[in-house]
Amino acid sequence: MKHLALTLVALALIVTGCKTSSEPEEPVSFDGSYELIEVAGISENPDAKVSLTIEGDTVAGNGPINRWNGTLDGNKLGLLITTKMAGPPELMKIEDALLQALTESELSIEGNDLLVMKNGIIAAEFQRSAN
């Protein structure tokens, strides 16, 4: 009888220990303005001012040459619309890499950094602006 009681107590502890919290997780807010640190291994370029602003489910940014807009669904970026002006080759390289990184990617926050992830790999990194 003692063996059965101990087994039931152990089983109850195991079941309650595996119970997940009933409180829903608070969604991460990406809202804010960010400045590009690195994209596709290309570090920031003083001539390539790149900013990104997120407000709710809207994403907008200014690249070294063009502007873009898109939508955010949770942490997933959808397709972007962009202006199509040409510029110096070194800036076009940064902008092309950036638009590839941003399109259909996932976002995460680490401290003050906004990470743009593609297939589990960091494709671009932004830092929250001071303003």
Is 58 inside any structural domain?
Answer: yes
The percentage of residues in the chain with a pLDDT greater than 70, rounded to a whole number, is 79
pLDDT of residue 45: 72
Sign of CA dihedral 116, 122, 114, 97: negative
pLDDT of residue 17: 56
Is 21 inside any structural domain?
Answer: no
The confidence band for 104, taking pLDDT boundaries of 50, 70 and 90, is confident
Cα(9)–Cα(84) distance, rounded to whole angstroms? 68
- Predicted TM-score (pTM) of this structure: 0.76
Mean pLDDT, the chain, integer:
85
The residue-averaged pLDDT of 101-114 equals: 94
Is 48 inside any structural domain?
Answer: yes
Is 65 inside any structural domain?
Answer: yes
Question: How many domains, in total, are found in the chain?
Answer: 1
Is 2 inside any structural domain?
Answer: no
CATH number at residue 106: 2.40.128.270
Is 112 inside any structural domain?
Answer: yes
pLDDT of residue 48: 78
Range of the domain at 104: 29-128
Pick 90 or 21 by higher pLDDT. 90
pLDDT in tens, 45-101: 777 789 999 999 999 999 999 999 999 999 999 889 999 999 999 999 999 999 999
The structure tokens 């076009």 sit at 92
Cα(95)–Cα(100) distance, rounded to whole angstroms? 9
93 phi and psi, to 5 degrees?
-60, -45
Q: If you ran DSSP here, which 8-state letter would residue 86 be given?
A: -
3-state secondary structure of 29: coil
The confidence band for 43, taking pLDDT boundaries of 50, 70 and 90, is confident
